[in-house]
Structure 1
């Protein structure tokens, strides 16, 4: 808007005149006749120029004759093809004052192009000789611009009784143009140290009125070291994109480094040069914690760029679908110009393949470390997994914070890997690590009297009661409480207002919109449907603890496990579900990850006791529909997802009734298939995947 205002010269003058800035009288001329009328009204001599324009193109000054005004009107009209501005001519020399960030940075006197006669050469020849100066080049790439002979030059020469073919006397100065712009061949003399303080303030006021961070203020006056009011001087133009050449490379005087204040304005010393990065890693809970932190930051009205296993999100909008917990996806967020805070789920696989997408992060979160992905990428022990996750802690900048789980010894000891602040979180306020950290004036987040508490060694803030945090079921679901604690620690360490953190906790929902496939609970036709992504023993055990604090129901589980896990991990994960599942539907993943068809479902079925009903299907779709057919009103159907989007489509079809009747209606109890499954042989566990 400010740039457009400066292009509208009459409007610029009106705004400046309204606050007492001296500007020349004038008006808009739609015709040559009106131009002459305005010239007579404001008093001769006058200036004629396009109402919109730049670089002094089409400008004619010091016009005293009607013919000159009419000719100047045509020149300005050709340049703009719009309205023409006629103003009273202000006597004096042309000065450019450069204002940067509200302060005068430099000033220069601009002299119009001219030649000095020698009694031999014509004016055109003298111009050609002048253009041979190596400093003069076409355009704006050098300190001076070549002089071009055009209609404006012819008009100026005619005012002096000359033409291009005239031969000036020796020593005679011949002015080629009436305007002094460098872009039309003018020269500059530095005047920065000579500007009167009142004139500097007027220039700064003009830039402020037009809301310009960088402005070139053109002033006509006899002596820039005297106040304009004493010499009938005026501001004749404000430029939104002023050239810097006259200040950097004046023909005379001291060069001024005007680039430095522009850079300092754009990048102040006390402002961050990078956006805050919050990186989240761990075995379980990463996606939920990442999404919860993002929700907290968005509640504080920041534009968040988020990556997670579901995709890349910019300002809550999905811009790329698919597993995006690696460094390439993080780079997409970090390169986005709108993002103010980056919240990045940081998975083991990406770290092992390519490292991190960043050299430092403001906050690094480690949720927990448990047995998962063992036997992959050269990682064979939980301790080795912890070492991979610790990379995020090591990347935390010195002024940042590492948010660590005090209830997990492998995570808690990562504090030794950073010089940054450590924020511990724990279910237990009496945890010995928490108590020792508080005694050392450290930061901790924990649960006390069923409320989330943020504490330092000196103070304690009761943030929110867990009864108001719906996704924790009033604090009964331990793994969701841990997720909340981790997110609170991260948001607190990132500097968010506790009020915003608390509000975000009360408005976050673990539904298919906010956290698809992560403990989503809904009811369809009397069947409680629970969707989750857990696929390792710790996650499935935590899921069972959550289910057991919910309403008691007959529970059917539809489940598969990733084929790239070790045999013993698949068996352990299957058996972790036994305390809370009454019947199973075992299906095969779309991506077998090197396994044979049916190998994983058969292995899982063999790990179950003989008296537990189990059915086998070959795809996620068949598994979900078989589970739905096996459920009756009052049951709980748990679906462990393989492909989240496909599963959600199927469930949406069931909920909306678009599935065929056989699939959309739970069967009666008499129709349930509860026959014991056939036993299959199970290989001896060896720490590697079965070859059978």
Structure 2
């Protein structure tokens, strides 16, 4: 079973919901009365298919947000043909450096390169990227801001994590390459879904910006940044955020969900502070994720876990209360308590009726 689906499954069991694992979909089925809801992999049965298709087109989704007055990075989308004939240069002419380049349809930070400062860096990236992807988004890079993933469900923020790009801490003995190897060993022990830190193009740009290379030996406790992308699958770290979120930003998160017509959405944000209104130049919405990770909230690397799936699964109960009570009535673990409660209620009702007649 998919790791995210397993979190939903365990919460459903804790709430005594009737669920059945289905290996073929790497998920499970939830039965409530005559209705069956399928949790396929990491995707719960919550968002409309049309909405998810739009959000999977990252460029189009951000243009919808932009039209609604929501701050997103300025961006263009280019094809391989435009790259070959050089017409893309005119397209990106209005974008200010540095830039971010990323594939139109990929996840978990795959294929993303941040902090591109020269045309040669961009050309090298595009040469390689177009061997794997059909469309590439190029957008302005918003540096020196904090990164967050905000989980919105049913118009409410139910979880937030602070995210940090890959880095290593010096011990005064090992060089950066050796520290990366040791850090990756530690990451495998923390969580099986954490991706390794890699000395890729972005890491080299980041080191070059600091005037360093992989042979550098950091002092004890010295932190060396190794990228700008904060995805855990690319060596990033994350922790539960328990700080305040200003009213303006809470409303903005609801607006993002409404514009994209998503009941459940993970919103990636770059901003100064979540308690400061997200208005340019204080921050931007990077992108929305229609199948957001649940595990980063329930299994954080640091901080107190937030059981977001418990809140989501309760929604199914609220939507189908009679079907839920019916399932509890025939559940071996809850039947005695439900039947005893119903018997007690029936007895009390009978006594009240008799008393009323007298």
Q: Give yes or no for TM over 0.5.
A: yes
Q: 2:166·2:235 contact (CA, 8 Å) conserved in 1?
A: yes
Q: 1:28·1:83 contact (CA, 8 Å) conserved in 2?
A: yes
Instruction: Give the superposition deviation at 1:108.
Output: 1.6
Task: Identify the residue that residue 153 of structure 2 maps to in structure 1.
Answer: 100
Residues of 1 paired with 2:160 and 2:128: CA distance?
29
Q: Cα–Cα, structure 1 residues 207 and 75, in superposed 2: closer, same or farther, change >3 Å?
A: farther
Deviations 1:466-494 (A, max 9, x none): xxxxxxxxxxxxxxxxxxxxxxxxxxxxx
Residues of 2 paired with 1:152 and 1:108: CA distance?
23
Instruction: Give the superposition deviation at 1:39.
Output: 4.1
Q: 1:47·1:59 contact (CA, 8 Å) conserved in 2?
A: yes
> Which structure has the greater CA radius of gyration?
1
Residues of 2 paired with 1:275 and 1:223: CA distance?
44
Q: Cα–Cα, structure 1 residues 230 and 4, in superposed 2: closer, same or farther, change >3 Å?
A: closer
Instruction: Give the superposition deviation at 1:36.
Output: 4.9
Q: 1:75·1:151 contact (CA, 8 Å) conserved in 2?
A: no
Q: Cα–Cα, structure 1 residues 2 and 173, in superposed 2: closer, same or farther, change >3 Å?
A: same
Higher relative contact order (CA 8 A, sep 6+): 2
Residues of 1 paired with 2:191 and 2:301: CA distance?
17
Residues of 1 paired with 2:291 and 2:285: CA distance?
17
Task: Identify the residue that residue 53 of structure 2 maps to in structure 1.
Answer: 4
Residues of 1 paired with 2:99 and 2:76: CA distance?
11
Task: Identify the residue that residue 586 of structure 1 maps to in structure 2.
Answer: none
Q: Cα–Cα, structure 1 residues 75 and 259, in superposed 2: closer, same or farther, change >3 Å?
A: farther
Secondary structure of 1:235 counterpart: strand
Q: Is 1:55 the counterpart of 2:108 in the alignment?
A: yes
Q: Is 1:83 the counterpart of 2:144 in the alignment?
A: no
Task: Identify the residue that residue 566 of structure 1 maps to in structure 2.
Answer: none
Task: Identify the residue that residue 262 of structure 1 maps to in structure 2.
Answer: 312
Deviations 1:259-293 (A, max 9, x none): 1111122332763336999xxxxxxxxxxxxxxxx
Aligned with 1:164 (options 210, 214, 222): 214
Q: Cα–Cα, structure 1 residues 96 and 16, in superposed 2: closer, same or farther, change >3 Å?
A: same
Instruction: Give the superposition deviation at 1:99.
Output: 0.4
Instruction: Give the superposition deviation at 1:44.
Output: 0.9
Residues of 2 paired with 1:87 and 1:134: CA distance?
31
Q: Is 1:69 the counterpart of 2:129 in the alignment?
A: no
Q: Is 1:111 the counterpart of 2:161 in the alignment?
A: no
Secondary structure of 2:318 counterpart: coil
Residues of 1 paired with 2:183 and 2:158: CA distance?
31
Secondary structure of 1:21 counterpart: coil
Q: Which runs of 5+ in 2 are unaligned?
A: 1-49, 332-338, 348-358
CA RMSD of aligned residues (A): 3.3
Task: Identify the residue that residue 25 of structure 1 maps to in structure 2.
Answer: 74
Instruction: Give the superposition deviation at 1:9.
Output: 0.8
Secondary structure of 1:126 counterpart: helix
| TM-score (structure 1 length as normaliser) | 0.37
Secondary structure of 1:110 counterpart: strand
Instruction: Give the superposition deviation at 1:214.
Output: 1.4
Aligned with 2:64 (options 10, 15, 29): 15
Instruction: Give the superposition deviation at 1:137.
Output: 5.8
Residues of 1 paired with 2:330 and 2:274: CA distance?
52
Residues of 1 paired with 2:127 and 2:170: CA distance?
30
Deviations 1:82-119 (A, max 9, x none): 11001111231211111012211111210001012344
Task: Identify the residue that residue 260 of structure 2 maps to in structure 1.
Answer: 210
Task: Identify the residue that residue 334 of structure 2 maps to in structure 1.
Answer: none
Residues of 2 paired with 1:71 and 1:161: CA distance?
21
Instruction: Give the superposition deviation at 1:251.
Output: 3.5
Q: Paired residues, what number? A: 284
Residues of 2 paired with 1:246 and 1:201: CA distance?
23
Secondary structure of 2:268 counterpart: strand
Q: 2:317·2:324 contact (CA, 8 Å) conserved in 1?
A: no
Residues of 2 paired with 1:186 and 1:208: CA distance?
29
Q: Is 1:247 the counterpart of 2:297 in the alignment?
A: yes
Residues of 1 paired with 2:94 and 2:63: CA distance?
18
Residues of 2 paired with 1:15 and 1:230: CA distance?
17
Deviations 1:436-495 (A, max 9, x none): xxxxxxxxxxxxxxxxxxxxxxxxxxxxxxxxxxxxxxxxxxxxxxxxxxxxxxxxxxxx
5 Å-filtered alignment, 1:636-655, equals: none
Q: Is 1:223 the counterpart of 2:276 in the alignment?
A: no
Q: Is 1:121 the counterpart of 2:174 in the alignment?
A: yes
Instruction: Give the superposition deviation at 1:172.
Output: 4.0
Q: Tell which deviates more after alignment, 25-34 or 129-138.
A: 129-138
Residues of 1 paired with 2:113 and 2:93: CA distance?
16
Task: Identify the residue that residue 287 of structure 2 maps to in structure 1.
Answer: 237
Deviations 1:123-147 (A, max 9, x none): 221011112326646752xxx4432
| TM-score (structure 2 length as normaliser) | 0.69
Q: Which runs of 5+ in 1 are unaligned?
A: 278-357, 361-394, 400-417, 420-692
Residues of 2 paired with 1:37 and 1:170: CA distance?
47
5 Å-filtered alignment, 1:200-599, equals: 200-229=250-279, 231-268=281-318, 271-273=321-323
Q: 1:219·1:236 contact (CA, 8 Å) conserved in 2?
A: yes
Deviations 1:322-361 (A, max 9, x none): xxxxxxxxxxxxxxxxxxxxxxxxxxxxxxxxxxxx959x
